[in-house]
């Protein structure tokens, strides 16, 4: 059913536009040095795009221009309502929703504590929210008519910057300003280590600045790659049956949906685990030296 609806959605919105879009892309690529080809990567049409295509108004254009933010807010509102519903009906004998929420919190808490120790419990709300939010945004793009905000660099870079700022704040709070600089210098103790400070300090600074870049690019690249793969195979399924006047195609992309569900979970987990490890570098420094 999912493959049928996805193929139908792709065909209704894009069948007559695929050829024109490809021709326009090639023409613009020749004119603008390939910039248009980069801007028109294959992806499923979402509801906002469809509304803007058929009912082109100022409001639909606004939604289309800010569709990344719109779908990010949709996920945030959904998770907030889900959490509120589970919290409002909490009891000593939990129901299914409360059981699910408590299980998710317990699993995420154990994961963070196993890396950071007991002192890491204060990071569970941030890292747990980060994992759930990213995972749900990843999955949203697999629903016909929806869109994964994490398939765009804007979202992943914003999330990575939040992690970066919180990690640096944690380091400053734990070490103090001088201790933080000492940490960036490689925590030198011997004369030889102090002599290497002019080399270690800029390397550590570059390493810290590279963390949000690697976090954002990894998540963005994998999720956008998933969406492109699904769209390409769905388009191929429609093209195969193009000689038959039916608004459907072969669901060639269906097997890859299950793979995309797995990679959506893995990418959210990797992002959260790396954030946890970055916190550990700013909290376990004294224990490691000891």
pLDDT digits over 231-245, tens only?
Answer: 888 888 888 877 777
Q: What is the reported pTM? A: 0.81
Cα of first residue to Cα of last residue in the chain, in angstroms, is 59
Q: What is the C-alpha separation between 223 and 137, in angstroms, rounded?
A: 10
Comparing CA positions, the residue from 37, 63, 59, 39 lying closest to residue 49 is 63
Q: What is the C-alpha separation between 30 and 288, in angstroms, rounded?
A: 56
Domain coordinates in residue numbering, the chain: 2-289
Q: What is the C-alpha separation between 87 and 95, in angstroms, rounded?
A: 11
Structure confidence at residue 284 as a pLDDT band (50, 70, 90): low
Comparing CA positions, the residue from 140, 71, 128 lying closest to residue 101 is 128
Comparing CA positions, the residue from 189, 186, 176 lying closest to residue 207 is 186
Contact 136, 79 (CB under 8 A): yes
pLDDT digits over 190-209, tens only?
Answer: 888 888 888 888 999 999 99
Residue 125 has which token pair? 């709300």
Contact 132, 254 (CB under 8 A): no
């Amino acid at each position: 059913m999912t493959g049928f609806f996805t193929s139908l959605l792709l065909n209704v919105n894009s069948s007559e536009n695929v050829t024109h879009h490809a021709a326009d892309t090639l023409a613009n690529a020749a004119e603008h040095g390939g910039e248009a080809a980069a801007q028109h990567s294959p992806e499923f049409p979402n509801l906002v795009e469809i509304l803007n295509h058929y009912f082109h108004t100022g409001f639909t254009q606004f939604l289309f221009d800010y569709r990344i933010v719109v779908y990010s807010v949709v996920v945030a509102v959904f998770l907030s309502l889900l959490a509120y519903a589970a919290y409002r009906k909490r009891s000593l004998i939990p129901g299914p929703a409360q059981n699910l929420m408590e299980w998710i919190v317990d699993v995420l808490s154990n994961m963070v504590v196993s890396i950071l120790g007991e002192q890491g419990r204060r990071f569970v709300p941030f890292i747990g929210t980060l994992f759930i939010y990213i995972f749900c945004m990843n999955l949203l793009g697999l629903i016909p008519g929806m869109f994964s905000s994490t398939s765009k660099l804007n979202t992943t870079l914003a999330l990575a910057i939040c992690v970066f700022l919180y990690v640096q704040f944690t380091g400053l709070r734990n070490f103090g300003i001088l201790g933080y600089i000492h940490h960036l210098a490689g925590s030198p103790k011997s004369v030889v280590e102090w002599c290497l400070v002019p080399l270690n300090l800029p390397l550590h600074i570059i390493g810290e600045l590279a963390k949000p870049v690697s976090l954002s690019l990894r998540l963005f690249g994998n999720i956008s790659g998933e969406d492109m793969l699904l769209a390409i195979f769905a388009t191929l399924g429609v093209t195969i049956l193009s000689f038959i006047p039916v608004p459907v195609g072969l669901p060639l992309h269906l097997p890859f949906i299950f793979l995309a569900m797995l990679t959506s979970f893995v990418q959210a987990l990797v992002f959260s685990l790396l954030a946890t490890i970055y916190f550990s570098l700013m909290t376990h420094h004294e224990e490691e030296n000891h």
